[in-house]
Structure 1
Amino acid sequence: MMLATLTLFQCIVLERAPGHHGDSSYVKAIGRIYSREHLFNHSLPLAGAFTATCMTSWLYELPLIHEDSQGPLLLGACEPLCAKPAQNTSLRLLSEWGEAIIYPIAPPIALTPSPSPYSTTPSRIVLLRQASTGSLHDLQRLAFTYPYSSFDLRPFHAILPFLRDGPPNEPEADDTTVLQALVRVTTCLAVVHSTADAVEDNPYAGPRFSLTLGGHWTAIVSWIRFAIEKVDQRLPSDTMDEHITTVARFMPLFTHPLLADIVSLDPRSTIELSFSVWTVVFSRRRSINVPDDGACEIARFISEALEDDALSPAIVDVLNYGSYAPAFFSALASGCRTLRKRLSRGIVPFSFAHQLASFYLSIIGGVSKTYDQAWTYMLPKGCLKAYSQCLLQMSHCEGATTIWLVAHVGFLFSLIKHEPAHLMAKVKQLVKGDVFILLYRCLSEHKSDTYQADAAGSMVAYLACYLPFTPFHQATSRSIRSASDQLCGARHTDLVPQWQSFMSFFDFVDSTLSTSDDCFAYACDSTKHVHGTGEALKHRRACSGCENVFYCSEACQREDWEVLHRMECVGTQIASRALESRSRGEWIPRGSRGNLSAILLRIYNELKLYDAKAVTGYSLDNPHNYVTTLDLRAGSATPAITLMKKETFTPKISSFHPHNLRPRLNVLLSSCDSPSARIVEGIFRYGDGTIHVFARLGEALEGFRFLTGVGMSSNPA
């Protein structure tokens, strides 16, 4: 009689097999599962009790499950695949304690009745026997219908003969042979994966599985490479996803403790293999209508490998070799875009997208910290933009919370702040990914003093600091205009102050940018140029070498070359174009061109800072002997204002970069000797450092006009 569900007092009865005694090296014991009612109806002599530790150890020595008409049995080491010879302790227990030992099972378990001969699902023995023939149909039934257990390594041993010899030699194999081998290997990998999951926590079966797998590891890896190379070429599109998924799901085993010793022998090969799988999974040719293509498994492996002490250096080595880096980051961006499309079509649930997006974020963070050239590839491939748009799509899903979204966006901001290299390209990509819509939603839903509002407000304030930079402002303008329907209330006064301040500064910069060229109508960077009140210049000439200085005529350019620019041109080119200098936070703005100088001039005139009475706390007899500093690092059109005598300010020049422009700044300060001239400094935030724009202004009919300028930078103190 087979019991489908056991209740009340449940136990395992281990009976000593007739004909076996204490001196035997193997035990053929039978362990049937009975209910209490069955025990009461059958006179079984009880032998007493012993500790759970001994019993557990003993049961591990009898690991195999067999089925017959009477129900599930535990077979001893006479038919083992993962069993070992029984220890003498177990033999003595059997011989000393009599005919039977009862051990309670807790908590209660539910068992499925053994299939009858007429059942459509074969028994374990039948599945194993049929799979041993190598039939693709029988192997697939073993892979997807076998009831794997923590004691049972038989499915793994059943498929080993088909992996042991490695893939076929393609020049000697026809298409049919290669296709059959491809289907067979993906099926066998599914068996290996399922077996590993089942025996993961078994202290006996797990190590034996690892040992056996290590002995065939070279052949298995060659099969995986074969599957990766051929799956796109030989399989029809309707079955390709299934087999790619099988290969991808196998990859997380590489970071499993059972495989740690195997993988550590050649971590580089493991990473190369995983990158190949990663690229295939996120190929642009993949269908977006597949709910699960193994993306989560392979993404999990990459994220875990980046945190592994043995695999992380191997990732860097592989990315530095050949074409792995472009393909890897292209696949990352493609994966984010594919997830967004699947979410928009309702193909995947939010729980799946949440997990996969977390892995993507972990990969972006891990690779940016371990691989020096990460942003060199991530930015051209659009990884930040794709991920930000994916988050925006997830915000529409049921179950998405603003605190989760803010946490993910905040992590992206922390990555940007951590490394100033390519700073402007990073913040531009976030804006192109519609990060403003996410932040606006958070601020509109949490207007009180909450974590979400504070975090989103601080990120908005951080982005506001970069509005004076023309590339960032243009990207922001396009993003806000394209999302005008979603930001219909963006100018409401009941929103948090950070958003109000941002929109106010955005409007100010936007109007300044549209007229910035007019600010330099009288500007010439020649130290010999005599600035008067004549007509505006029709056009200006830029130095063709550094493109950092501008002249009203060829004569002024020639004069400045002889006096000053000859000594600074080459150094300026090197400093402005070298990636090394940018990674240290150094960046050279154009002093006599661009939005920074235009904003500086407009604020100076609108606040009437040329009037000594307009600056609270200062009484100036000779304002041309002072440097007026406008600190715009807070991202507002109302900067902090300070004044300093030129004699006091001059020693600070040594802290500005690049050093070859310091002589020009000295000349700019010393040339301001007329009561109608002013020296103004604008300070702008740029990562952890600052941008300094210096301008010499001349008095005009209304306010002051821009005459000449120089842009420099400084590192954080």
Structure 2
Amino acid sequence: MASNARHSAVNVLLRGAASGSIAHMQLLAARYPYSRTDIRPVQATIGFVRSNPGHQSNLAECTSTLQSAWSLVIAGNVVKEIIKNEEDMSVPSTVTLVDTINEYWLDVTSSIPMLLSHPSARQYLSAIIHLMINLTRSPFISILWGHPSATVNMVLHMWSSKIANNRHATMCPSVASLINTCLENDVLAQTLLDTLRGRSSLDGRRFYRAFTVRIEELGRLVSGRGEGKSYVDVALLQLGTYQDVLLQLSKQYSGAWDSLLAARVLVAYANAFYQIALKTNGNPSYTLRICVQIASLLSSISFDASNLIRKLSQLFSGNLAKTLYTLLTTHSPHSPTYMAVRSVLVSLTSYLPYSSVCHSVTATLALRSPEAMVPSQAGPAWEAFLLSIAYAIQADRVKSECFQYACDNLGKCQKEDWDALHRSECRGASMERLDRSQSRVTFPWGSRGNLAAELVILDRTRQLDMNKGDSIVIVDLRRDELPHVSRMPVPLHLQKRSGYAPPHLQPRLSAMAHSLDVKNIRLVEVIYGHGQKSYHVIARLWEDISGEWQFLNGVGLVSEGNDVDEEVTYEVIH
């Protein structure tokens, strides 16, 4: 008897929902005894999903919209029940459900913009987005890539739409997961990338702008929530999710960063980190999580070396420096958390000699001169960072003193043994410049600009008493906050640098190394970390009559990897 009553109640729920009554559809969603083999709720209601209600009265349009919303909520309940039971996804009922949803998929995807824009349907969006997430599982994924254009357009619309009342805290990461799913599927990825390519694509511009908007929303969410740590957790998790999408996207589409930078997404990232740092109040766990997130972001943006300096400049144009300063002030020096922040700061220090990076840092910190840099509460790591900024500011001021590419500081090409090198070098240099320009890779040529000027400044400020004709002074900026200075015999140095690129500059390096028998000439190398590579700026310095070291000529080489050379031949200078 009880079984018959239950069967009768189920049929009443199904018949009521099949009539299109909103009240009955709500009852079906809330009270139906869902099971993995019963797909009747979907069959009874999915026909109410409408892509375009057409010209209707406000009441009729509202009813149609709610019918679509509740149909998708009900479908989500059925799919969720199947997903929970993973024993066999090939049972007839599941196959039939896939076919049924697939038949209506174009209507489903087209209904999403209507649901996003209608106030009465927005409360159901979270359930609908979870349906989409579950559809990324096998065998439902075939529905998504069976209609790639419709699926991608739906995901882009969901991502770019304005979601009010802080619902982004739960919904936007789910949509970001959908984007990742698209990028992981060959068919969907190709469709998505085709949509994003081309600067005239309105969907593409909205997509990139939405990254900035979502991250800015996180910053506002954290800053407006008092001391609530739960929002810090939410923000860090979401930033990690968005970062996964950025990395996946940039791996598949080299032009993505151009649009992301145009949307100033990294400024938003830095500002969000700053808002989070202000709320952590010295909590070691949160400090470490922030450091991991920043380090991971730096790794992501350096994965593709194109526009690396522009990326770093944009991060510093936000509040990245202030974020690290804030974290340093909340921990005692030499504590594990302080050292974690310090390691991030050190990884950024070697980029300060680039003018655009230096200008971004000094602008956000309101520093205009070395004299403005006084010790702070942030401890020795920050003081060392300020000293590096002072070097960079001085270098920027005197960079015009450095000669141009392959010419001496009088603007004339090298004489005697340099003539042949110059003629052959110019051809190779032109090709190298063209290749790097086309790939948007910045290279600090060793014979011009503020990188070369920094050699002079480092030499003048460190007072290195190492004028030995058989050695080269090596200043490694990758090892610590302050330069690590050492010496290496010239023959060993030439051997170690023999495989570095570009090959056409190796003869010049050899000529420089064999000219040290000239009085008052010193050979100096500065090593910079640059993404996944290291840049070696090698220069000849000459001591003038006043005892000052002047820049004669130089060469810039690139080595793969960013490993620190730990050869025992190094003699550390104190």
1:630 counterpart residue number: 475
**Paired residues for 1:342-381 under 5 Å:** 342-346=221-225, 350=231, 352-353=234-235, 355-368=237-250, 374-381=256-263
CA-CA distance at 1:680 after TM superposition: 2.5
Check 1:380–1:490 CA distance in 2 against 1; reply closer, same or farther (3 A cut). Answer: farther
Q: Secondary structure at the match of 2:547?
A: coil
Alignment root-mean-square deviation, CA? 4.2
Moved more, 661-670 or 702-711: 661-670
Extract unaligned runs of 5+ from structure 1.
1-28, 32-65, 67-72, 82-124, 483-487, 532-536, 538-550
1:264 counterpart residue number: 142
Deviation string 1:239-258 (CA, Å, 9 cap, x unpaired) is 574476565343112124xx
Deviation >6 Å, runs of 4+ = 78-81, 203-206, 553-556, 559-562
1:255 counterpart residue number: 136
Q: Secondary structure at the match of 2:20?
A: coil
Q: Secondary structure at the match of 2:98?
A: helix
Mapped partners of 2:531, 2:295: distance in 1: 15
Check 1:379–1:132 CA distance in 2 against 1; reply closer, same or farther (3 A cut). Answer: same
CA-CA distance at 1:577 after TM superposition: 1.9
1:339 counterpart residue number: 218
TM-score, normalised to structure 1, is: 0.64
Greater share of helix residues, 1 or 2? 2
CA contact (8 A) 1:246 1:294 kept: no
2:353 counterpart residue number: 468
Check 1:250–1:266 CA distance in 2 against 1; reply closer, same or farther (3 A cut). Answer: closer
**2:341 aligned with 1:456, yes or no?**
yes
2:73 counterpart (190, 211, 215)? 190
TM-score, normalised to structure 2, is: 0.78
Deviation string 1:444-467 (CA, Å, 9 cap, x unpaired) is 223265543232221111112222
**Paired residues for 1:136-147 under 5 Å:** 137-138=22-23, 141-142=26-27, 146-147=30-31
Q: Secondary structure at the match of 2:446?
A: coil
1:219 counterpart (103, 112, 116)? 103
CA-CA distance at 1:263 after TM superposition: 1.7
Check 1:411–1:509 CA distance in 2 against 1; reply closer, same or farther (3 A cut). Answer: same
The alignment covers a number of residue pairs equal to: 537
1:297 counterpart (153, 170, 174)? 174
**Paired residues for 1:393-412 under 5 Å:** 393-397=275-279, 401-412=286-297
Moved more, 437-446 or 591-600: 437-446
Which letter maps to 1:579?
Answer: S
Q: Secondary structure at the match of 1:481?
A: coil
1:46 counterpart residue number: none
Which letter maps to 1:505?
Answer: S
Mapped partners of 1:490, 1:704: distance in 2: 28
CA contact (8 A) 1:465 1:633 kept: yes
Mapped partners of 1:714, 1:200: distance in 2: 50
Check 1:316–1:433 CA distance in 2 against 1; reply closer, same or farther (3 A cut). Answer: farther
Q: Which has the larger radius of gyration?
A: 1
Q: Which has the higher contact order (CA 8 A, sep 6+)?
A: 2
Check 1:478–1:289 CA distance in 2 against 1; reply closer, same or farther (3 A cut). Answer: farther
1:446 counterpart (325, 331, 352)? 331
Extract unaligned runs of 5+ from structure 2.
198-203, 564-574
Mapped partners of 1:396, 1:631: distance in 2: 33
Which letter maps to 2:376?
Answer: H
CA contact (8 A) 1:628 1:680 kept: yes
CA contact (8 A) 1:282 1:335 kept: no
CA contact (8 A) 1:148 1:194 kept: no
CA contact (8 A) 1:167 1:223 kept: yes
1:576 counterpart residue number: 436
Q: Secondary structure at the match of 2:195?
A: coil
Mapped partners of 2:363, 2:484: distance in 1: 26
CA-CA distance at 1:642 after TM superposition: 0.9
**Paired residues for 1:181-580 under 5 Å:** 181-197=64-80, 200-201=83-84, 210-230=94-114, 235=117, 238-239=119-120, 241-242=122-123, 247-256=128-137, 260-264=138-142, 267=145, 269=147, 272-283=149-160, 286=162, 288-292=164-168, 294-303=171-180, 311-323=184-196, 327-346=206-225, 350=231, 352-353=234-235, 355-368=237-250, 374-397=256-279, 401-416=286-301, 418=303, 420-447=305-332, 450-481=335-366, 491-492=375-376, 495-517=378-400, 519-520=401-402, 523=403, 551=411, 563-564=423-424, 566-579=426-439
CA-CA distance at 1:329 after TM superposition: 3.6
Which letter maps to 1:661?
Answer: L
Identical amino acids, percent of aligned pairs: 20
CA-CA distance at 1:422 after TM superposition: 4.0
Mapped partners of 2:507, 2:350: distance in 1: 29
Deviation string 1:496-519 (CA, Å, 9 cap, x unpaired) is 5433322222233223323333x3
2:572 counterpart residue number: none
CA contact (8 A) 2:445 2:555 kept: yes
